[in-house]
Amino acid sequence: MPTHVLSARQSDQLNTFPAMLPINSSLFEQGFNLDLEIPPAPPGSTAPVPRIDDQTHTLVVSLPVVHITVPHVESLPLLLLYAMRLETDLLLLAHNLLPGDVVEEFPCLPAMLTFLCALDDHKFDRIFRFNQGMRNNSLSLVPVAEGLNTVISNAWNAAAEARRARQRGARQ
C-alpha cells in the first residue's frame, strides 16, 4: 500500500507539471541511500486506509505529498520499481534499457556496439537519453541494490560507448 506520493520534477524543467508517483516510504527508505525527510507518522496512526468516496462511490485514499527534484523524470518510475523491489527481474530491466538483441550479446561489448550503432538516429538518441537519465537518477538517488546499479551502469556504458563509436563513424 502506498504511504506517500512523490511529486517529481526534472531539475532542468522546474516549471512543468510534476509526475505524481505513489510510493511506500518504508520500501523507499530500504531501497535508496537518500533521506526524503518524510516526517514520522503520529504515534498510534495507521497507514493510509482506503475509504469510499461519497460522490463517486469508489475507493479513494489520501496520501501526503513529498516533493523531489531528479535529473530525469521519465526513467524515475522504472528506477523506483526496481529499487523498492516491487520488481526484481534484472534481465527484464536490461530489456527495458536496451534492445533485446543488444542485451543478448552481453558481456561482449563489440557485439553490443554493433547492434546499437546500427539503430537509426531517432531510436538510438531515445535509448541514449533514457539510459543517461536513468544513470543520473541512480547517481542522485543512490539505490542500495548492487545488482540494480550494475545493470544501470552496464546499459549506460554500452550506450555511451556506442555514442562515441557513432560520432567517430560520422567524422570519417
Q: What is the pLDDT of residue 62?
A: 86
Q: Would the pLDDT of 172 be above 80?
A: no
Q: What is the pLDDT of residue 136?
A: 98
Q: Would the pLDDT of 89 be above 60?
A: yes
pLDDT interval class at 161 (50, 70, 90): very high
Residue 76 half-sphere exposure toward CB, CA atoms < 13 A: 22
Q: Which residues contact 68 (CB under 8 A, 6 or more apart)?
A: 6, 7, 8, 9, 36
Could you report the per-residue pLDDT of 7-47, keeping only the tens digit for each? Answer: 999 999 989 999 999 999 999 999 999 888 887 777 777 77
Could you report the per-residue pLDDT of 108-149, keeping only the tens digit for each? Answer: 999 999 999 999 999 999 999 999 999 999 999 999 999 999
Average pLDDT over residues 51-77: 93
C-alpha 113/C-alpha 117 separation (Å) is: 6
Furthest CA-CA distance within the chain? 68
Q: What is the pLDDT of residue 171?
A: 54
Q: What is the pLDDT of residue 170?
A: 63
Cell numbers given for 101: 538483441
Q: What is the pLDDT of residue 79?
A: 98
pTM of the model: 0.90
